[in-house]
Amino acid sequence: MLTKIGFLAMLAAISTSSPACFYPPTTKPPADNRTRTVVNVPYDLTWDAVHSVVKDREYRIQGDDPDHGIVEAEAHSFTLADADCGQEKSIAGKYDSEPDKGGSAVYNFKVEPAGPLATNVAVNATFSTPLRVPFHRIQDFQCVSRGTQEAKLLKEVETAAHAARRPVEITPYGPTRALTPGRGTLLRPGLTEPNQSH
């Protein structure tokens, strides 16, 4: 049986361990220089580089549209270094809200030609986590990106694009480097056809 002192001690422990208030994020969305870049590599190789990075990171592709240059990929975790999820306050003081294990990160890549030898790449990250505030229902909460993962992803895409090579095809006219199947060329048709003299 709980004594009065024991009951009061239990209440104090609960109130100490449970946050009483929630404060929304104060971080501003990341600047453009952390979420977009120009890769000095043709579109088809940069497009493949985005897929290579997504695969290496073991993200799950949710959307893939080469006609509009869009790739949407999901990760099942993120950290406080990636996003600001606000703060909670308890008797002990304020502290940063940790992303919950049920949180997710969705990265939207936009890949666009910037001429025959360059590509614009942008990535927009959306971080969400279940928000657990005492005496309230659990609800999904969108955190504010710090731009950390976007900057890392763009750097990885650029590195992979510079390392990418088109497959070599053996044709009656000799070996040629072909564009990735299904990708349109940005060059004039005459520049990609074998030179035939009559």
Domains, the chain, in order of start with CATH, read: 21-179 (3.30.310.80)
Where do runs of H (alpha helix) occur along the chain?
Answer: 4-17, 32-35, 43-56, 148-163, 189-192
User: What's the whole-number average pLDDT of the chain?
Assistant: 80
Identify the pLDDT of residue 137.
64
Residue type, 166: R
Identify the pLDDT of residue 21.
83
Identify the pLDDT of residue 16.
42
Report the first-to-last Cα separation within the chain, whole angstroms: 104
Q: Are 87 and 95 in contact (CB under 8 A)?
A: yes
Identify the pLDDT of residue 153.
98
Identify the pLDDT of residue 7.
34
Q: How far apart are alpha carbons 163 and 160 in whole angstroms? A: 5
Of 3-17, 32-46, 96-110, the range with the highest mean pLDDT is: 32-46
At 178, the pLDDT band (50, 70, 90 cuts) reads low
CA atoms within 13 A on the CB side of 51: 14
pTM: 0.70
pLDDT at 185 over 80: no
| Coil vs helix vs strand at 198 | coil
Task: List, for residues 32-47, the tens digit of each pLDDT value.
Answer: 999 999 999 999 999 9
Q: How far apart are alpha carbons 37 and 122 in whole angstroms? A: 6
What number is the average pLDDT over the span 53-68?
96
Identify the pLDDT of residue 14.
39
pLDDT at 85 over 70: yes
Q: Distance between alpha carbon 130 and the CA centroid of its chain, in Å?
A: 19
pLDDT at 192 over 70: no
